[in-house]
């Protein structure tokens, strides 16, 4: 977006949201975003720069958020896991955005708080977006407002689903679900998991109050690199936010104070430090020495092979000679035997014996 588009506007990258005419949201939700984001300004709410309404087309122009949304970063495969302190920073930023909405003179109920609606800038500062389902909260003596149940599966508060009664505490429950996703690294609803683990809240909430079982639900991609005390306090806070009784849940201002205190903890474990010294010269020398050793070994192997071949040749020659000598010796014995037999018979014939005496 350039300066020529609107006087006084700095040139900046923007994100354009186009209303899907075939989607679940329509002009009413688009108008709600224009009204709420046009009036509300806060560091943890996305900045609405402009909008467009022409015929059936509806556009919203936001500030560009470099890191995208939390859902993509948290659950994206084959990517580095979000560090513990970064997760706490994101949770604290989103909590401040909700606390601001609830603390207005006319409280605003966000109603669709989930990981995909938390946008992140380059420094992982969280900002709330998508105010299409936002609505004004109860005023005066009213304790709640009654509306049609809307939102995303896995994030909506149980009393809102059962009765349609909506309060600011409904947002607190949804925040607890996102906080649980940050702790476990799991989606609120995952149909690919075993039956008892498909719903994250039902599976993990009983384990949050047991410190001995907390390791079973912590995100394994963190590899233990998180504050033990911070994880316990964050689990306790999550357990309170996910209470089935809306009056037992903390306010968002209390949540902000708790999360800010967790960011100040200094009991992070220090992992093993490995430093590889860059030794290019030494590596070259080592490689040359290794090559020399390899060539020497090859030479020795060749010499050994030559010696083995010479020994085998000598053995073959000796065996051949022995074989030939054996044949000669046998031939000599046969010839001598035949000569001896011939000489005896001739002698008996000449001298005369009983065997060879002539017949009369």
What percentage of the chain exceeds 70 in pLDDT?
Answer: 72
Average pLDDT over residues 35-59: 91
Lowest-pLDDT choice from 120-124, 204-208, 219-223, 322-326: 322-326
168-186 per-position pLDDT tens digit: 999 999 999 999 999 999 9
Name which residue leads in pLDDT, 353 or 77. Answer: 77
Strand partners, 50: 61
The whole-number pLDDT of residue 83 equals: 95
* Cβ(255)–Cβ(99) below 8 Å: yes
Q: Which helix (H) or strand (E) holds 7?
A: none
Query: 333: burial class by Cβ within 10 Å (0-12, 13-18, 19+)?
Result: exposed
91-109 per-position pLDDT tens digit: 999 999 999 999 988 899 9
- Of the residues 20, 112, 123, 190, which is catalytic? 112
Average pLDDT over residues 271-282: 52
Statement: residue 284 has pLDDT above 60: no
**Which residues 6+ apart lie within 8 Å of 242 measured at CB?**
173, 176, 177, 180, 201, 205, 208
Residue 45 to residue 119: CA distance in whole angstroms? 9
- The verdict on 52 and 89 lying in the same domain is no
The whole-number pLDDT of residue 176 equals: 98
| Residue 79 pLDDT level (bands cut at 50, 70, 90) | confident
Residue that has been written with the tokens 């035949």 in this structure: 338
- The verdict on 112 and 223 lying in the same domain is yes
Residue 47 to residue 49: CA distance in whole angstroms? 6
CATH code at position 116: 1.10.510.10
Domain presence at residue 80: yes
Domain presence at residue 276: no
Per the structure, how many domains does the chain have? 2
Domain presence at residue 245: yes
- The verdict on 43 and 149 lying in the same domain is no
Write down which residue in 237, 262, 287 finishes a domain: 262
The whole-number pLDDT of residue 219 equals: 95
**Summary mean pLDDT of the chain:** 81
Domain presence at residue 308: no
Provide the residue range defining the domain that includes 257: 68-262
Average pLDDT over residues 204-226: 93
| Residue 271 pLDDT level (bands cut at 50, 70, 90) | low
CATH code at position 42: 3.30.200.20
Q: Which candidate, 121, 63, 129, places its Cα nearest to that of 101?
A: 129
Tell me whether residue 210 is one of the annotated catalytic residues.
no
The whole-number pLDDT of residue 352 equals: 52
- The verdict on 42 and 175 lying in the same domain is no
Residue 98 to residue 256: CA distance in whole angstroms? 10
Residue 40 to residue 105: CA distance in whole angstroms? 12
Residue that has been written with the tokens 């709600």 in this structure: 32
Average pLDDT over residues 303-323: 58
**Which residues 6+ apart lie within 8 Å of 27 measured at CB?**
19, 58
Residue 18 to residue 236: CA distance in whole angstroms? 40
Would you state the structure tokens that stand for residue 35, as one six-digit string?
Answer: 């009204």
Binding residues for Mg(2+): 117, 130
Domain presence at residue 233: yes
Domain presence at residue 4: no
128-163 per-position pLDDT tens digit: 999 989 999 888 777 888 888 888 889 999 999 999
Domain presence at residue 329: no
One-letter-per-residue 3-state SS of 29-81: HHHHHHHHHHHCCCCCECCEEEEEEECCEEEEEEECCCCEEHHHHHHCCCCCC
Name which residue leads in pLDDT, 82 or 335. Answer: 82
Name which residue leads in pLDDT, 28 or 323. Answer: 28
- The verdict on 161 and 246 lying in the same domain is yes
* Cβ(153)–Cβ(189) below 8 Å: yes
DSSP 220: G
The model's pTM is 0.72
């Amino acid at each position: 977006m350039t300066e020529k588009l609107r006087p006084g506007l700095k040139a900046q990258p923007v994100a354009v949201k186009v209303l899907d005419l075939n989607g679940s949201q329509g002009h009413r939700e688009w108008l709600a975003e224009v009204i709420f984001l046009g009036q509300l300004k806060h560091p943890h709410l996305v900045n609405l720069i402009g909008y467009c309404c022409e015929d059936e087309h509806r556009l919203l122009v936001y500030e560009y958020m470099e890191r995208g949304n939390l859902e993509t970063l948290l659950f994206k495969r084959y990517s580095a896991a979000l560090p513990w302190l970064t997760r706490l920073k994101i949770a604290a930023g989103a909590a401040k955005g909700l606390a601001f909405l609830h603390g207005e003179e006319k409280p605003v109920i966000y109603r669709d708080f989930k990981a995909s609606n938390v946008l992140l800038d380059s420094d992982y500062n969280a900002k709330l977006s998508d105010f299409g389902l936002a609505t004004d909260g109860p005023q005066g003596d009213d304790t709640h407002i009654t509306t049609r149940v809307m939102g995303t599966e896995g994030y909506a508060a149980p009393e809102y689903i059962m009765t349609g009664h909506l309060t600011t505490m409904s947002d607190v429950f949804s925040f607890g679900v996102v906080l649980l996703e940050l702790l476990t690294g799991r989606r609120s609803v995952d149909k690919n998991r075993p039956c008892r683990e498909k719903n994250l809240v039902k599976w993990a909430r009983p384990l949050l109050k047991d410190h001995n079982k907390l390791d079973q639900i912590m995100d394994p991609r963190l590899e233990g690199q998180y504050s033990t005390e911070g994880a316990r306090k964050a689990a306790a806070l999550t357990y309170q936010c996910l209470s089935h009784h809306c009056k037992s849940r903390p306010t968002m201002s209390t949540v902000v104070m708790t999360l800010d205190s967790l960011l100040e903890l200094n009991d992070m474990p220090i992992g093993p430090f490995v430093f590889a010294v860059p030794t290019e010269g030494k590596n070259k020398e080592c490689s040359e020495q290794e090559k020399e050793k390899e060539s020497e070994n090859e030479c020795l192997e060749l010499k050994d092979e030559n010696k083995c071949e010479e020994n085998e040749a000598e053995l073959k020659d000796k065996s051949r000679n022995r074989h030939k000598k054996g044949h000669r010796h046998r031939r000599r014995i046969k010839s001598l035997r035949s000569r001896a037999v011939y000489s005896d018979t001739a002698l008996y014939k000449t001298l005369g014996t009983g065997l060879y005496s002539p017949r009369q």
